[in-house]
Structure 1
Amino acid sequence: MSGLKLFHTTEIGVTEVVPRLAEVEAAVQGLVEAHMETVLGVKFLASEYSTGPVHGGRVDSLGLDENGSPVIVEYKRGVDSGVINQGLFYLSWLMDHRAEFEHLVRDRLGVTVAAQVLWSSPRLICIAGDFTRFDMHAVREHRRSIDLVRYRLFGKDLLGLETVASVSGRSPVVRRVRRQVAVPGGGQSVALVELAQAVDETLLGLGDGVNCVQHKTYRAYQRLRNFACVCPPQRTKLLVYLKADPKQMDLVPGFTRDVTGLGHHGTGDLEVQLRTERDLDRAQRLFRLSYAAA
Structure 2
Amino acid sequence: MSSLKLFRIDSPNGGVVEVTPRLAAVEADVQELVEGQMEALLGVRFLASEYVIDCVDGGRIDSLGLDENGAPVIVEYKRGTDAGIINQGLFYLAWLMSHKDAFRSLVRDRLGERAASQILWSAPRLICVAGDFTRYDVHAVREHRRSIDLVRYRYFGNDQFGLDTVASVTGHSADAKRAGHRGPRRLQVRRQGGAMAELAMAVDEVLVGLGDGVTRVQRKQYRAYQRLRNFACLIPPQQTKVLVYLTVNPKDVDLVSGFTRDVTGLGHHGTGDLEVQLRTERDLERAQDLFRLSYASA
Q: Is the contact made by 2:231 and 2:247 (CA closer than 8 Å) also made in structure 1?
A: yes
Q: Which residue of 2 aligns with 1:83?
A: 85
> Post-superposition shift, 1:172?
6.0
Partner Cα distance (1:198, 1:149) in 2: 31
Shift, 1:157, TM fit = 2.1
* Match status 1:103 vs 2:105: yes
Given that 2:78 and 2:131 are in contact with CA atoms closer than 8 Å, whether structure 1 keeps it comes out as yes
Displacement, 1:59? 0.7
Q: Does 1:244 align with 2:251?
A: no
Contact 2:178 2:214 in 1 (8 A): no
User: 2-side partners of 1:117 and 1:177: how far apart?
Assistant: 27
* CA pair 120-53 structure 1, distance change in 2 beyond 3 A: closer
User: 2:250·2:274 contact (CA, 8 Å) conserved in 1?
Assistant: yes
Q: CA deviation at 1:171?
A: 2.2
Deviation at 1:183? 4.9
Match of 1:276 among 256, 274, 280: 280
* Residue equivalent to 1:178: 185
Structure 1 residue aligned with 2:9: 9
Instruction: Identify the range of structure 1 (163-172 vs 221-230) with the bigger mean alpha-carbon deviation.
Output: 163-172
Q: Which amino acid aligns with 1:48?
A: E
Instruction: Confirm whether residue 133 of structure 1 aligns to residue 135 of structure 2.
Output: yes
Match among 204, 210, 213 for residue 208 of structure 2: 204
Contact 1:181–1:193 (8 Å) recurs in 2: no
Question: How far apart in 2 are the matches of 1:162 and 1:42?
Answer: 16
- Cα deviation, residue 50, structure 1: 1.0
Alpha carbons of structure 1 residues 172 and 229: separation in structure 2 relative to 1, 3 Å: closer
Q: Give 2:253's aligned amino acid.
A: M
Q: Unpaired runs of 5+ in structure 2?
A: none
Q: Partner residue of 2:63?
A: 61
SS of 1:54's equivalent in the other structure is coil
8 Å CA contact 2:81, 2:133 repeated in 1: yes
Cα distance in 1 for residues equivalent to 2:215 and 2:47 = 23
Per the TM alignment, residue 256 of structure 1 is displaced from its structure 2 partner at its CA by 1.1
Q: Which residue of 2 aligns with 1:30?
A: 32
Change (3 A) 1:86 1:38: same
- Report how far residue 190 of structure 1 moved: 2.4
**Are the aligned partners of 2:264 and 2:274 in contact in 1 as well (CA < 8 Å)?**
yes
Letter paired with 2:228: L
Task: After TM superposition, give the deviation of residue 66 of structure 1 in Å.
Answer: 0.7
CA RMSD in angstroms comes to 1.7
Q: Deviations over 1:125-164 (max 9, x none)?
A: 0000011111111111222111110000111221111111
CA distance 1:159–1:76, change in 2 (3 Å): same
| Structure 1 residue aligned with 2:42 | 40
State the Cα deviation string for residues 231-271 of structure 1 (Å, max 9, x = none). 00111111000011111212121111111111100011111
Secondary structure of 2:189's counterpart equals coil
Cα displacement (A) at 1:224: 0.7
1:155 aligned partner: 157
Report the counterpart of residue 113 of structure 1 in structure 2.
115
Measure, in 2, the Cα distance between the counterparts of 1:250 and 1:74.
40
1:193-246 CA-to-partner distances (Å, cap 9, x unmatched) read 222111111111111111110012100001111000000011111100001111
- Distance in 2 between the 1:217 and 1:180 partners? 21
In structure 1, the partner of 2:22 is 20
Aligned partners of 1:168 and 1:212 also within 8 Å = no
- The corresponding residue for 1:231 is 235
**Alpha-carbon spacing, 1:181–1:231, altered in 2? closer, same or farther (3 Å):** farther
Q: 1:94 aligns with which of 93, 96, 105?
A: 96
**What's the CA shift for 1:177?**
7.0
What secondary structure sits across from 2:56 in the alignment?
A: helix
Counterpart residue type for residue 292 of structure 2: R
Counterpart of 1:292 in 2: which secondary structure?
helix
The number of residues matched between the two structures is: 291
Q: Distance in 1 between matches of 2:183 and 2:129?
A: 31
Q: Which amino acid aligns with 2:3?
A: G
How far residue 110 of structure 1 moved from its aligned partner, in angstroms, is 0.7
| Structure-2 change in CA distance of 1:55 and 1:231 (3 Å) | farther
Percent of residue pairs bearing the same amino acid type = 71
Tell me if structure 2 keeps the 8 A contact 1:184–1:193: no
